[in-house]
Amino acid sequence: MAVTDQEQVPIPRQEEGRQSDIVEQRSFATAQLAREAFLLARNRLLDINYWGRISAGLSADFSLLDETGNKLERAPLPKDFIRIDLPGPGSLAGHGYDWVQIEAVEESEADTRRQAVLLRVRPSQDPSLPEGPAHFFDPRASSTFLLERTGQVLRAGIHGRNEQTAVAAKKIDTLRNTVVSELAALGAAAIQWKKLANAILGIDDAGNAVV
């Protein structure tokens, strides 16, 4: 699939709940410089374990794990899991963490005009000891991370679809999910995703290009 074609970008359809779109961009003097920056940005996007290190002020910690809960030091693949350590009380079902599973990793064929790489995830259970969904959003929600280069411009976007609070098996988890979900709706998630999008592009919190 040509993920650079805006009519074919595989972002799930918005049907219920909330929708969020965070997009940051960076321009370059030449297409060649943009191509070089795209390769660096691609590596940052796919190096999930280091998201917290490249983004100053990112409050969550992300780890790429396999289906048995072992940490992976490689590029993500479909069916891998991402363990998310958020500030404050964690999910009981997730043993203190929120979890998502990678649904898709796609890249376009490189050409002189366009390049793109996409990572899409959905809320999931803790793979090591499944006790139902372990995320503050319902499993029908999705997050799509999309990095694109068009000519001399790079864009990094995080697109949330069908974001609804998860109803958990344990009431305390449902209460916690409601609080985290509402904080996300009030802008807490947008601030974090903006930091990550800029970090992927090589832009620091002051808006300066660092690479």
Task: Tell me what pLDDT residue 186 has.
Answer: 62
Give the integer Cα–Cα distance in Å for 106 and 104: 6
For residue 132, give the nearest of 178, 91, 169 by alpha carbon: 169
pLDDT computed for residue 55 by the predictor:
86
Q: Does domain 24-201 have CATH number 3.30.530?
A: yes
Whole-prediction pTM: 0.89
pLDDT per position in the chain (211 positions), as tens? Answer: 445 444 455 899 999 999 999 999 999 999 999 999 999 999 999 999 999 999 877 888 999 999 998 999 999 999 999 999 987 777 776 777 889 999 999 999 777 689 999 999 999 999 887 777 788 888 999 999 999 999 999 999 999 999 998 777 667 777 776 777 777 666 678 889 999 999 999 987 667 777 6
* Residue 169, pLDDT score: 61
What's the pLDDT at 1? 41
For residue 8, what are the CA distances in angstroms to 43, 82, 174? 23, 26, 35
| 8 A C-beta contact, residue 155 and residue 203 | no
Residue 181 confidence (pLDDT): 76
